[in-house]
Amino acid sequence: MALDRRQYERLSRSSSGDSIADGTPSQTDMSPLSAPPLRTLPTGRRAFLRQVSGLALAPWLAGCAEPGRPLTIANQVWPGYELMRLAQREGWLPKTGLALMDVASSKESLQALAEGRADGAGLTLDELLSARASGLPLTAVLVFDVSAGADALLVRPGIVRLPDLAGKRIGVEETPLGKFILHHVLTAAGLTPGDVTLVYHNHDRHLDIWKAGGVDALVTFEPGASLLEAQGAHRLFDSRQMPDTVFDVLAVRSDTLEKHGEALRGLVAGHFRGLEHLRANPQDAAFRMARRLKLPGQDVLQAFRGLDLPDLHANRRYLNGTLAAVARQLSGIMLTAGMLPVPDRLERLSSAEYLPRED
């Protein structure tokens, strides 16, 4: 099922109700939102942030969780992660042994993992590899989504081919994901970083930088990409040209898997129940997710544009080998680009053990 797509982080910092700014697990039990009639909306998918990188995750920081603490999963606001939040609100997750922690960015998720305040987090595959290289033993147990157009390079009029980027200013987040997409763009253009001027910025400044004329091209993602296209930007490259490469996964500390197996299975099952509800009743699900996503209910499905949401069968295929094959290639690219100190040996990279059984 292809839905749509991506981005927000400062929203987490300013959110009310179920978002907790200090990074403590959310225990809020929110009643379903009312769902007025909806017009038919295009399906699609993705939408929200990616502020990672620059994290020194010393292995000695990755402390053990305090005894008796529930399985704690950190995640920021992002459509790909929202199905487990939908499951939480609808009472489809385990009542005990599990806590979801609100954070403002994947950088904060990684910090919570490193400091032992969280046992797992929603991360992109490149972030997972970076964290493992920094000493965090993480295993992917679920693929939330796969980017299929949600991440893009937008350019100003007059730039019609990728080689036209030579000598131009390209805005990009200084994160593993931003650098990874930029690497693909420059490779496809036949250029090197020295052929362009890189302008580093946070994702929440995309629109302001564009309006100010500070860049000629911008590596960005939905829904910000759609906002920029409304300002006259043109899409020259996106993740459809690098398929099965940008994954969002549920990464859990490998040394806690056995201890929290029951709660983890319940969490993963809740995600798939949320996915089933989205497929069966997309308009109802959209209004129920609107509050956390900080979007009008009628715009939620549009926020998922550019994402594929793998079902149980696809997840089993990814976790039983496909993800490792992609990670091997990705690790090599990141190593060449200076984004990894050493290649990942891929031991315990993924596990399908916590997926529900297929009938």
Does residue 255 lie within any of the structural domains?
yes
Which among 241, 261, 296 is the end of a domain? 241
65, 135: one domain: yes
31, 139: one domain: yes
pLDDT at 10: 37
313, 230: one domain: no
Does residue 176 lie within any of the structural domains?
yes
13, 93: one domain: yes
pLDDT at 284: 96
155, 143: one domain: no
169, 96: one domain: no
CA 200 from centre of chain: 20
CATH for 227 = 3.40.190.10
Domain holding 218, by residue range, is 151-241
Sheet holding 197-200, edge to edge: 197-200, 169-172, 217-221, 151-155, 234-238
User: What would the pLDDT profile of 5-35 be if each residue is shown by its tens digit?
Assistant: 333 443 333 333 333 333 445 443 332 222 3
Beta bridge partners of 123: 249
Tell me how far apart the alpha carbons of residues 115 and 136 are, in angstroms, rounded to a whole number: 10
182, 272: one domain: no
User: What would the pLDDT profile of 137-195 be if each residue is shown by its tens digit?
Assistant: 999 999 999 988 888 999 999 999 999 999 999 999 877 778 888 989 999 999 999 99
pLDDT at 254: 96
223, 255: one domain: no
134, 155: one domain: no
pLDDT at 8: 42
43, 185: one domain: no
pLDDT at 58: 38
8, 29: one domain: yes
How do the residues of the chain divide into helix, strand and coil, expressed in percent and rounded to 5? 40, 20, 40
Q: What is the pTM of this model?
A: 0.74
pLDDT band at 223 (very low <50, low <70, confident <90, very high): low
pLDDT at 4: 35
Q: What total number of domains does the chain contain?
A: 2
Is-contact 354 269, C-beta < 8 A? no
The mean pLDDT value for 186-214 works out to: 91
